[in-house]
Amino acid sequence: MAEKTFDITKIDKYMQIQKADETGLFWRDACAEPFKTEGLYWFKENKCFERIPKDKLEGLRPGLKELAKCTAGVQLRFKSNTSRICLAISVPPCAPSALMSPVGQKGFDLYVDGVYWSCVQQTDTSSPFVFTIYKSDNFQMHEFTLNFPLYNGVNWLKIGLDEKAILDKPSPRAIKKPIVIYGTSITQGGAASRPGMAFTNIISRKLNVEILNFGFSGNGQNDLKIAEILSEIENPAMIIIDSEANSLSVKAINERVPRFLEILRQKHPCVPILVISKVKYGPRYAAECPVFKEEFKRIVAERIQAGDSNIHFLDGSDFFGPEDEFFDCTTDSAHPNDLGFFRMAKAIIPVIKKLLFL
């Protein structure tokens, strides 16, 4: 006799999905103005929820091509006085992650005036999957930010608002230019419990800045083709490199990283570049090469000595603590949990402020 499936939604009503009442709603395409999609540099050209457009993928490893479809760091921003926000969403099928919650992997979460409100993930194969993510008796204008999935793509998204609601473009960012961040699974957001808790999204929220997240899980290997793609981004506020954790070897670091930095510097001679070493790992990963950080640190020092006055190094091994034991900040002794990502953002934000004279 088959064992009965445990279903918490039948026991706890607060665990139930809030299926939408579509009465009185007007549905809008999330790609249309005045909605503002951020975190996708080429979005205005292709209206596609992919971090790297298809026409730029030639020459990349298959894994990078798949990861480019993930919407890590993507945000939809707008202002409205609606009393309800419903989402009609379609995301591609993806295998469950061993480390991440389904909401962090393939879900959305919503912030209202900078304060977290709710989250959702597609729980069945219905198309569209319709969900109420915001409901209030307050009809005042609010700023809404919807964070996209970290480890999955988005086929399409529609936003349902009150039929007579005002919809307007969001307020301008405090920092006018985007920050570009390149790196690993940690940069992509593994293993945040929900999208808004990835350290890049925390930084975006705290500094009111657009983040272009180019974290590629297991594939932040300082590929020169990626450097060439990133160099196409016009006028970034700064560039952050967080790729130590995926570096293959000392030899690979010395073959790739100096050239990677040079490609970026050729296009952006004055933009601040911040190189971050990886966070402290637990004993599970104690056998990993301990000299990678020193190689990155040396390469940065050599560039400074050669005259690059706006490249900087930040030691990520100091991000966790002293408030917490470092292993309390990770899921698996390597990937940060929400506390770990909060500690990362808390350590990085003052450095960003200093480099951008904020």
Question: How confident is the model at residue 287, as a pLDDT?
Answer: 62
User: Per-residue DSSP letters for 189-243?
Assistant: TTT-SSGGGSHHHHHHHHHT--EEEEE-TTT-S--HHHHHHHTTS-S-SEEEEE-
More confident residue, 310 or 15: 310
Share above pLDDT 90 across residues of the chain, in percent, rounded to a whole number: 79
Question: How confident is the model at residue 75, as a pLDDT?
Answer: 98
- Cβ pair 173, 203 in contact under 8 A: no
- Cβ pair 195, 107 in contact under 8 A: yes
pLDDT at 126 over 70: no
- The pLDDT mean for the chain works out to 92
Name 214's Cβ contacts closer than 8 Å, sequence gap at least 6: 51, 52, 180, 181, 182, 183, 187, 226, 230
**Whether the predicted model's global pTM rises above the 0.75 cut:** yes
| Residue whose entry in the numeric block shows the structure tokens 């808790």 | 197
* Domain ranges within the chain, ordered by starting residue: 21-168, 179-355
pLDDT, one tens digit per residue, over 262-321 is: 999 999 999 999 999 999 887 766 666 677 999 999 999 999 999 999 999 999 988 987
pLDDT at 337 over 60: yes
Lowest mean pLDDT among 13-17, 96-100, 102-106, 283-287: 283-287
Q: Mean pLDDT across the stretch 96-103? A: 89
Question: How confident is the model at residue 99, as a pLDDT?
Answer: 87
Question: How confident is the model at residue 236, as a pLDDT?
Answer: 98
Superfamily (CATH H level) for 21-168: Galactose-binding domain-like (2.60.120.260)
Sheet strands side by side (includes 238-242):
211-215, 179-183, 238-242, 273-276, 311-314
Round to whole Å and give the CA distance between 78 and 82: 11
Cβ neighbour number for residue 170 with a 10 Å cutoff: 18
- What's the fold here for domain 179-355? Rossmann fold (3.40.50)
pLDDT at 20 over 90: no
3-class DSSP assignment, residue 26: strand
Question: How confident is the model at residue 70, as a pLDDT?
Answer: 98
pLDDT, one tens digit per residue, over 171-203 is: 999 999 999 999 999 999 999 999 999 999 999
Residue 214 tokens read as: 């180019």
- Cβ pair 339, 329 in contact under 8 A: yes
pLDDT, one tens digit per residue, over 218-250 is: 999 999 999 999 999 999 999 999 999 999 899
- Structure confidence at residue 335 as a pLDDT band (50, 70, 90): very high
- Structure confidence at residue 323 as a pLDDT band (50, 70, 90): confident
Residue 41 tokens read as: 């540099």
